[in-house]
Amino acid sequence: MKYILNGIGVLFTLLLVFMVLLVGVVTTANKPKGDNEQVLSGKDGITKKAMIIYQPGFTKFTTRIARELAAGINAGGYGVTINHPGKHLSTDLSGYELVIFGSPTYAGQLTKALTNYLTQVCPQLVKATGESPRIVLFATGGLAQTEEFERLDGMLAGLNVVKKVKFSSKEQSAYDLGLELAQK
């Protein structure tokens, strides 16, 4: 009986440590990463502009996807600006024809840094006069399920959302998606 109780105690302790680590990981992932602007110039004076706003994750997978998307869009003739969401970033995105928002998925949720930024920018995009930019959402994660996008539907109402895509494996090509988006 003593061994069983000791085993349960060890199992409980391991579970508790795992939960504390998981909370730490999610908390760290949700913090804004600050200004990290990168610009890929358009070719031959082309004025089409795209913006990719993404929250990096613990692995480099989300960053890799954002950069591949940017390279594909740039190869398609757009000037592309890439940055992280946060207070340093303007909420006026009216000068862009294409705006892409991306985030890793933790526990079925997009990061708070991105969703907080979307809360600020979406009402301005809806109110903007003229044609609103095409909006693309991407998420990265281990599962191909996309429930995290459904939580944003109310916020995105009235916007020109053209694609929602989940990258869950290294076989999916973000570069090809970027080329496709640049051609539309």
Alpha helices (runs of H) in the chain, residue ranges in sequence order: 2-30, 61-75, 112-127, 147-150, 153-156, 174-183
Which band of pLDDT confidence, cut at 50, 70 and 90, is reported for residue 33?
Answer: low
Closest CA to 182 of 65, 97, 112: 97
Which has the higher per-residue pLDDT, 175 or 132? 175
DSSP character string of 37-61: -EEEPPSTT---EEEEEE---SSSH
Q: Residue 48: is it exposed, middle or buried by C-beta count within 10 angstroms (0-12/13-18/19+)? A: middle
What mean pLDDT comes out for the span 144-163? Answer: 83
Over the stretch 38-72, which tens digit does the pLDDT of each residue have? 777 777 766 789 999 999 987 889 999 999 999 99
pLDDT at 29 (0 to 100): 62
Structure confidence by residue, pLDDT tens digits, 98-110: 999 999 988 888 8
The predicted structure's pLDDT at residue 148: 83
Give dist(CA 51, CA 16) in Å, integer.
41
Which of the pair, 92 or 27, is modelled with greater confidence?
92
Mean pLDDT of the chain: 82
Split at pLDDT 50, 70, 90, the class of 171 is: low
The pLDDT of residue 129 is above 60: no
Is the pLDDT at 83 greater than 90? The verdict is: yes
pLDDT band at 87 (very low <50, low <70, confident <90, very high): confident
Q: What number is the average pLDDT over the span 28-41?
A: 68
What's this model's pTM, rounded to 2 decimal places?
Answer: 0.80
More confident residue, 115 or 7: 115
